[in-house]
Amino acid sequence: MPKLWKVATVASGTAAVSTAIVVIPPPLRDLPDGTLANLELARQGVLRSSRAVYTFAVNSYDYKYALKDYADTSEEYYRARAEVHTRAAQRILKLCEANRGFYIKAGQFLGSLKNIPKEYVTVLSVLQDQAHSWPYYAIQKVIEGELGKPVGDLFAELDEKPIAAASLAQVHRAILLDGEEVAVKVQYPHLQEQFELDVSTMAVLSKAIALLFPDYQFEWIVPEFEKGLSRELDFEQEGKNAEQTARNFAKKDRVKIPHIKWDLTTKRVLTMEFMQGFKITDLQKLEEAGIDRLQVAELLVEVFAEMVFCHGYVHGDPHPGNIFVNPRGGARGKRNFDLVVLDHGQYRELDESFRSDYCRLWKALILLDSDELEEVGDRLGAGHYYRYLPVIFTGRPLNSKSGLGRGMTEEERDQLREELRNFTMGDVSQFMEGLPRDFLTVLRTDGLLRSITSVLGAPSRMRLIVNARYAVVGLAQQHRGDPETQGWKAYSKAIYDYANLRFRLEIFELSYTFEMLYGSVLRHLHTIFNRTFHRFFGRKVQTSV
């Protein structure tokens, strides 16, 4: 184990480099008092970086010395490691809450990954709902600077109080000069300059972590995070993403995407159609509107399954604040509502070969086809970890005897727990680093959707069956895009493949049911036999059942 002086040396070096990065910020061209603005940005940069370095140093010390007295495979080690994970995650949470902005986004990103220690996911998941708005005068300055006119010349009305606030922007309701109601999304001031400083600090810290903890190779996360945020900071790109998604779902009457007002949109201001509705997880409003929660969950899974398996163009941040439900007044039928998809800043266009392989993967997951799973898993970069993909996506191991959506038996759970106890952060790092970035996107999206459907009370079997259906539809397509435009041949093949898949599933489920029923009857008969035998002969018959 390295000594304390080594940890302190690396932390001090990191602090020096981070400070060197932030004390000479780029010029702020949009402020008249540029010198003062630069000095303030420098001060904030040093403060933010210092907090990050402090958190890194304390967490490093905790990991190095809290576990050093335990054998790596002992019960005490596992308990102590879980406690260190929790303490470290809580420090990172405090850092994110103090620095806000991109640190909130980074914390949200980590909290949405399902392949890191569960303590981090549990602690950091609270960041999904954290946001503080900026004062109106600062927002007004951004709008007028971007659109080149006073707010009064652009809008008949602009509410000073935001209707929504996130880590990078806030949204205001407005009325256009022609009377149309719109939503105006405004990026917070000076985010671009702050972004460069924060990402540089994160990059330095990730390298320092790799130096101190050779098993923790997560340096690849920073450039991936940087690419995603660069796209999210460009509101013109967000508008294009929204329009592409609207075209993709043009034939889906229940899916609504806001129209973009391009004459009032720039890279930092996005003006769009105002969409009515409430958060998808607002159970009280769903009940008051007479909307079936399970129908909402099913449509949600269908929309994102079509994105992934068919369009290959995926919304990367489907948290509850970005998905609204709008009741259809007087509408009849089960789906008496529209699903409104908002915030189109984070999108990923999947590689066509990945889309096809991911469709094959899901078909293999549903059928527990070990040969197909190994082959596709290898192509997708999972390597020998492919056998854990069924657990990640379907909640049951590869050799499971449980029915689809029923989780694991106690025996399977104990066996898996024993295997995973021997996993190190190096194993997690190796697994995640080997996956294509497209895979990480769909993993994150799947995790967020599962959280929503869980709140809505939807059974996991529904999610699995919907994904299986769209996987075979996507596999039948000749190319990415709307499955309804692929032609009769692809349509017929999709119907056949899905019918075959469902038939095989039902046979599996039926045989599982009979097996469980047979076992129950057999155990009952043995119990009766034992009682009878004991009554006459005074002893029990030993049985292996």
Mean pLDDT on 510-538: 58
Nearest to 171 by CA among 410, 342, 324, 23: 342
Nearest to 354 by CA among 314, 395, 390, 411: 314
Backbone angles phi, psi at 67, to 5 degrees: -110, -5
Q: Is the pLDDT of residue 21 over 60?
A: no
Mean pLDDT on 45-60: 84
Q: How far is CA 442 from the centre of its chain?
A: 8
- Structural contact between residues 266 and 146, judged by C-beta atoms closer than 8 angstroms: yes
* Residues 6 or more apart in contact with residue 138 via CB below 8 angstroms: 188, 189
Mean pLDDT on 397-409: 72
What predicted TM-score, i.e. pTM, was given to this entire model? 0.77
- Sequence-ordered alpha helix ranges (H) in 148-234: 151-154, 191-212, 221-232
> Residue 367: how many CB atoms within 10 A of its CB?
16
Q: Is the dihedral of CA 446, 447, 452, 458 positive or negative?
A: positive
DSSP 155: E
Token output for 89: 């995650």
Catalytic residues: 317
Condensed to tens digits (0 to 9), the pLDDT of residues 238-297 reads 999 999 999 999 999 999 999 999 999 999 999 999 999 999 999 999 999 999 999 999
The confidence band for 211, taking pLDDT boundaries of 50, 70 and 90, is: confident
Q: Is the pLDDT of residue 515 over 80?
A: no
Indicate the SS3 state at residue 64: helix
Residue 300 identity: L
The confidence band for 20, taking pLDDT boundaries of 50, 70 and 90, is: very low
Mean pLDDT on 205-227: 73
Q: Is the pLDDT of residue 216 over 90?
A: no
Q: Is the pLDDT of residue 490 over 70?
A: no
Q: Which comes out higher in pLDDT, residue 272 or 134?
A: 272
Indicate the SS3 state at residue 350: coil
Q: Which comes out higher in pLDDT, residue 375 or 192?
A: 375
The helix (H) or strand (E) run that includes residue 296 is helix 293-306
- Structural contact between residues 318 and 304, judged by C-beta atoms closer than 8 angstroms: yes
What pLDDT, on the 0 to 100 scale, is given for residue 396?
79
- Structural contact between residues 490 and 476, judged by C-beta atoms closer than 8 angstroms: yes
Q: Is the pLDDT of residue 235 over 60?
A: yes
Q: Is the pLDDT of residue 49 over 50?
A: yes
Q: Which comes out higher in pLDDT, residue 210 or 272?
A: 272
What is the distance between the alpha carbons of residues 130 and 307, in angstroms, rounded to a whole number?
27
DSSP characters over 29-45: TT-SSHHHHHHHHHHHH
What pLDDT, on the 0 to 100 scale, is given for residue 40?
63
Task: To the nearest 10°, report the CA torsion of 369, 374, 377, 381.
Answer: 170
The helix (H) or strand (E) run that includes residue 435 is none
The helix (H) or strand (E) run that includes residue 478 is none
Condensed to tens digits (0 to 9), the pLDDT of residues 453-486 reads 999 999 888 898 889 889 988 888 877 777 767 6
For residues 166-179, b (16+ Cβ closer than 10 Å) or e, as one string?
A: bbbbbbbbbebeee
Residue 530 identity: N
Q: Which comes out higher in pLDDT, residue 196 or 309?
A: 309
The helix (H) or strand (E) run that includes residue 335 is none
The confidence band for 27, taking pLDDT boundaries of 50, 70 and 90, is: very low
